[in-house]
Structure 1
């Protein structure tokens, strides 16, 4: 970090709590090139401080995270780290996205617990970040989902299946739907949902409760539970998901999405994707009977 403009993640120590804040409020904390590494750096700072017991992850402004910044990755003409020219190099893409995945997973792998506070929405890559936390609490009217499952994405952290189980994970990823915080809590995707005006107090109470536990006790309990997830093969699943994520962006449909974003702007392309009003295979609007 060499200037204030490049600080896309803030870290502050507040007694026994390390506060990690996604800090691009003007673009709803959309994920920049720098953000994943800065998340991992903030986690490392909290991990290294013996006085910090718990981390609280949140987003500045009106939302937690809007996913990857499509102005950088989709709308910009020509190749970029997320979309190469054809023929593409899968290993180059894998190296780029695997690093991002591991940066997000620093939240999961940290020895100290992480509580994520979601207001507004945590969508697309933003849901990857939120679901890597140990405990996620949402505002009841906040939204979460992985809409790129419809075209141009595969959630590289694969946390949907580890939190929901196969059938409910399929319900989310075979539709690309968004759900509210209340629905997410009822489904078991997140710990709980509360009215937005109670969200801060709910997160603070949970963080304070855990902060009263010795650091070594917290680490042992988290490591035992994480071991069960790791034994279920999360590392292998994430490697496959990361490879597939690259394929989604370089498939014929993925390249059509990129071209549509360049021509019409990413907001229209995303709207057509999410509403199911565009056929990415034929590159034309969907007949109404098929929508």
Structure 2
């Protein structure tokens, strides 16, 4: 892919030299010199929210940072230059960090947030490492590739309450993280969506229908469109949306109140809420989501998209997708 001038593929956003295209909106962005789309400042208010305490980084900067404040463990996705897109290895590190926080006796609540101007923009994949030849793998081989997403069920079953604090872009796996939190608070200008349903995949987890019902779930998953935080709150995807400059304080106040409740009581109350969703088929729904993700990868549209990337580069693939949505 070197000849195509591709820097990296973030599952929801791609930047190419000479002509930047944007998957999230399905429209073409005018060409510019070697500048990554992920570094482009949005024209809207997206990303102006402040975040909670972010610890100092070391020389070997970590993609996942932690900090404690008043019995609240802050877990910060720390790749602001990539809008906090995570590699698969870093996603695993995130789950491990959650488990460590859950085991800490002095932690009464967990807050997940993103450093900089975004929450999480998806899975970050090196194009040189991507095998887009979907039709060469069996269903079982494809299913093994999405097996790591089973760990979202571990996140959902943590004893310690988890609050997601969302600002800026919350896309693809970012929505998986936010929607598996016990509560999500966002800035009113945050952006939620799963753009890759347009040509590459379906979500590998599914909380959409549980949170907002089938109408809103289908509205986003059948179009790949995005909605802002205020709309997400009205729909029920998140608990509430607040002005961007109030997000950090508002989230901490909520987390502190949650952390004040004795852990054995809060975990019991959380468990019964989750049991209701279990009775509504939560576990089966997640298994089906992973299977349908594989089915989507093997669809003609995904194979065409992968074929275009392999043979003509990301520019052509993105141009093809942009044409579908005007």
Kept after mapping to 2: 8 A contact 1:20/1:57: yes
**Paired position in structure 1 for 2:231:** 183
Question: Whole-Å Cα distance in 2 between the matches of residues 77 and 192 of structure 1?
Answer: 39
Aligned match for 2:138, one of 80, 89, 92: 89
- SS at 2:136's partner residue? coil
Residue 52 (str. 1) matches residue 107 (str. 2): yes
Residue 124 (str. 1) matches residue 179 (str. 2): no
Residues 84, 104 of structure 1: CA spacing in aligned structure 2 closer, same or farther, 3 A cutoff?
farther
Kept after mapping to 2: 8 A contact 1:39/1:103: no
Residues 47, 171 of structure 1: CA spacing in aligned structure 2 closer, same or farther, 3 A cutoff?
same
| Cα RMSD for the two superposed structures | 2.1
Question: Whole-Å Cα distance in 1 between the matches of residues 162 and 309 of structure 2?
Answer: 35
Question: Whole-Å Cα distance in 1 between the matches of residues 236 and 130 of structure 2?
Answer: 41
For this pair of structures, how many residues does the alignment match? 267
What TM-score do you get using the length of structure 1 for normalisation? 0.85
Kept after mapping to 1: 8 A contact 2:134/2:297: no
Query: How far did 1:152 drift?
Result: 1.0
- The structure with the greater share of residues assigned to helix is 1
Residue 108 (str. 1) matches residue 159 (str. 2): no
Deviations 1:70-104, CA, capped at 9 Å, x for gaps: x42xx43762xxx45532122222123122x2223
**Gap runs ≥5 in structure 1:** 279-285
Q: Which runs of 4+ in 1 moved over 3 A?
A: 75-78, 83-86, 259-264, 268-273
Q: Which range moves more in the overlay, 83-92 or 215-224?
A: 83-92
- SS at 2:151's partner residue? helix
**Paired position in structure 1 for 2:96:** 41
Kept after mapping to 2: 8 A contact 1:98/1:239: no
**Gap runs ≥5 in structure 2:** 1-58
Question: Whole-Å Cα distance in 2 between the matches of residues 202 and 165 of structure 1?
Answer: 26
Tell me: higher relative CO, structure 1 or 2? Use CA pairs within 8 A at least 6 residues apart.
Answer: 2
- SS at 1:31's partner residue? coil
**Paired position in structure 1 for 2:77:** 22
